[in-house]
Structure 1
């Protein structure tokens, strides 16, 4: 994959998936503003940081079986078996019309489906399932016959690594073919735009009468001197980059949706939603012009996605071709409301989902581009300290998935004791470790109670321990000292402050619960004295976000006192 143009950050809980959007129009563009990618706060203008969520891959044996079952792969294998010990070919290494009909029969496609035979033949040659052999007497080494290649036996043996390596090569070839096929349409659109601009410029000159004959002659000379081949090459490269970027962006959106959505239904995007996510700028409502761009994007994506679907990369229902005929008869469909259409009618506009095999393929492409594309469980292979550290320090991680992976098969009481020990500390990420320790305790449930009660005397852990035991209904817990309560308050707010990146909406609900029953005067006078790494940061957040102006002012004063004391 080429470098993508989208800046993608980790998507946290509560962010709607693309498939959740309540579409307002047929193409779904009206709801795009509800879906926002979080941009990584550390990304700079110099570094276009791309973060993708972790995924869970199917076993390699299952992926290999899916690869061999893909329609296009099946066609290439059948074609190579048909070639066998040799079939004559012409000087360009291609089959005659009669042979193509025989090959189509061997592949199980219609005899007149020449395009499918040619596509399978080209891919089989690329994969060395078929090799071309030149004749001994050929002066120009022109091929004379085709033979089944050495790769056929390897693929038929079914060894997963060999099958997946070959499939990845095929996927790259087909993706590039799909991009090249889209270039012509993009170029045509570019020429049309340029022609319109030229017509407008000419009309302007004619209306104003500002152009004289000398200027016109000079302009003509300059145009004639211009190297048309360079202009054509530049246009071609621009079209290629646009087509490649469009396919890359679409696959990345499908990858993220597949990673974050729990069910196949939620992982499936209407083609209009996918196009809208690629076209409509974040936070903007779709204009009539943007709706037109969404339609154009759908039309460009449709054949590219069909190519990849034939390789088993996508579950894809293409656009119903009859829609274009109806559009010409009845006018554009942009204004049709979804409520007016039944599900079958909506399906006619296409929908797409990345398969298990597609997830594997896109991840390999991301890794080739140097993009970190982690697997679920990457931080769950060591002890509790490695688990919590990995969750806290990784930019693209699904914490609960890692926790579930780590807890699997562990004895609850021992796991709880290990987690609590790993949660101690006063370093910069310690508050978040305690936050996710509490999340893990919730997963363990009642069997972890004895280990949690053991830390009720620990000032760093009594807060999360007491809160968790209270959630389970415990009523016999000792009353912690006020200093411990204040420290725990700072620690809990610091954990949220770090974990949310200081996002106002995520913090506001917690901040509004302060200062508590003691009133702001005593609360902030005591709070700024708390010996915690994040005391000042927490007070500054309260001062910025608290809706009560008098409370916010006290918090800011307390933050200033903490700063003066070096807290």
Structure 2
């Protein structure tokens, strides 16, 4: 059976130790830790666990923030994260309310250090990352919460908030942001995982709004993109302090109506400078965080190294549709896990896994050959052991010849043709570059005189399909016609 293509390309993650160090350095988590260590028996919190307003100036001062509205907001944000990640434990009060006439909220709780606070310094990298992921979930929830511009209009007579009046769908909001992060993840892994350049915010918003088959976007679509940009600008400002992204916000001068800025900044703004509309990229920690969230949602998001402890068949099936550089890295890790002392056994396992007549077998054999190229000369005994195998013998001869090995027997003619069909079938399954595939087709067919007169007889499940593809791809009209005739003969021979 052909291997299933993963939903996402493979990602190369930093080590857990490196990711944990990045998590501990995330500004918001740093502030949360400082407040968790600052809190004591006299710290006053509301019934919901929030730091009471009277305590915010002292909390902001402890964090080195200004004693103003912004400082209080940052302190409150860090406190909430400390509670949400278990750095602090808040105990609900025993009584229903404070005594009559007492100042303060209706009820207050007590706060103590949480178990997770010690784990940040004494736990494993996995412990640190688990705490950080809890923090990411909390910040993600904040980022998708409704914007309460007219809060007073939403409060009913009984003091409750009318969330229906918000026209807010929490699942849709979360799904949209996760979709944006998924697209950013894909763009980061583009070109074999280069992803060094930040992505313009308009392009990221458009990737979620503009239909793929739309030519020129309509005014309505452009307005939706603009609205999404502004929402994403707010969200990425929240996600940056937890270490998920590096973000250059939208230039506020662009948000000022022409003529309203007294200093003329809006009028002088260079609207063609795309960087002024916001630029974002995932950090290495962000790649880890988004991948984890996708996996929890059931998305197939592999990482290089996932297959290092698996069997040879799982390796060859797993890398079937990996980009070349990622496949090479995965094989290197797989071989390293077995050590140089087991090179012969590893090569034998790879060759055994390459057998088969199923749809995915040609691609497994192609990746087996590429894996053996990394195994080194120590693999030679295992390779020589399959020289007489009608399905692996051609592969073995290629491997030995590339290393200048002596005493390599010449392949029988039927093995040559079988290997040609198998090789083209593998490349067709891999969906490689068209020019490269065309060169392979023409190269193999011209190496042997009378190729199409003989190849249709090859006992390979993909013979007819390969010949039909050669008829489509061959640039020489005469050869293309011969390939189509041979494909017809192959199907007739197979009774199909």
TM-score when scaled to structure 1? 0.69
Q: Aligned-pair RMSD on alpha carbons?
A: 4.1
Aligned position for 1:118: 76
| SS, match of residue 134 in structure 1 | coil
Q: Given the superposition, is the C-alpha separation of residues 444 and 260 from structure 1 closer, same or farther in structure 2, using an over 3 Å criterion? A: farther
Pick from 97, 111, 114 the counterpart of residue 150 of structure 1.
114
Contact 2:11–2:193 (Cα < 8 Å) also in 1:
no
Cα offsets for 1:499-539 (capped at 9, x unmatched): 229x86664333344632656xx432311111112111112
Change over 3 Å in CA distance of 1:127–1:231 after alignment to 2: closer
SS class of match (1:319): coil
Of 229, 236, 239, the residue aligned with 1:305 is 236
Alignment of 1:408-423 (within 5 A): 408=336, 409-411=339-341, 412=343, 415-423=346-354
Aligned to 2:153: none
Larger CA deviation: 553-562 vs 506-515: 506-515
Aligned to 1:8: none
Give, in whole Å, the separation in 2 of the partners of 1:323 and 1:553: 61
CA contact (8 A) 2:246 2:281 kept: yes
Instruction: Indicate if the aligned counterparts of 1:154 and 1:162 stay in contact, CA closer than 8 A.
Output: no
2:168 is aligned to 236
Residues 341-356 of structure 1 mapped to structure 2, 5 A cutoff: 347-356=275-284
Return the alpha-carbon distance in structure 2 between the equivalents of residues 62 and 554 of structure 1: 58
Q: Is the partner of 1:353 in helix, strand or coil?
A: strand
Shift of 1:485: 1.5
Note if 1:266 corresponds to 2:231. Answer: no
Deviation at 1:52, TM superposition (A): 1.6
CA distance in structure 2 between the aligned counterparts of 1:124 and 1:380, rounded to whole angstroms: 36
Look up the match of 2:97: 138
Query: Contact 2:120–2:127 (CA<8 Å) still a contact in 1?
Result: no
Query: What is the alpha-carbon distance in structure 1 between the residues aligned to residue 230 and residue 280 of structure 2?
Result: 14
Matched-pair contact (CA < 8 Å) for 2:180–2:208: yes
Q: 1:515 to 1:164 in 2, by over 3 A?
A: closer
Q: Distance in 1 between matches of 2:436 and 2:335?
A: 28
- Listed as ranges, the matches of 1:108-507 within 5 Å are 108-112=64-68, 113-128=71-86, 129-134=88-93, 136=95, 138=97, 142-151=106-115, 153-160=117-124, 161-181=126-146, 232=165, 235-237=167-169, 240=170, 243-259=173-189, 266=196, 268-282=198-212, 287=217, 289=219, 294-325=225-256, 329-330=266-267, 336=272, 347-392=275-320, 398-408=326-336, 409-411=339-341, 412=343, 415-445=346-376, 448=379, 452=383, 455-472=386-403, 478-500=409-431, 507=437
Q: Secondary structure at the match of 1:515?
A: helix
Equivalent position of 2:22 in the other structure: 66
The C-alpha deviation readout for 1:4-35, integer Å capped at 9, x for no partner, is xxxxxxxxxxxxxxxxxxxxxxxxxxxxxxxx
More relative contact order in 1 or in 2 (CA 8 Å, sep 6+)? Answer: 1
Post-superposition Cα deviations, 1:344-363, rounded to whole Å, max 9, x if no partner, equal: xx654443332333233222
- Structure 2 length normalisation: TM-score? 0.78
Change (3 A) 1:244 1:423: same
Deviation at 1:436, TM superposition (A): 0.7
Q: Secondary structure at the match of 1:165?
A: helix
Which runs of 5 or more residues in structure 2 are unaligned? Answer: 100-104, 151-161, 260-265
Assess if the C-alpha contact under 8 Å between 2:50 and 2:80 holds in 1: no
CA drift of 1:560 comes to 2.4
CA apart distance, 1:547:
3.6
Conserved in 2, the CA contact under 8 Å of 1:53 and 1:398? no
Quote the offset at 1:312 in angstroms: 1.7
Pairwise CA distance, 1:327:
7.2
Q: Does 1:515 align with 2:445?
A: yes
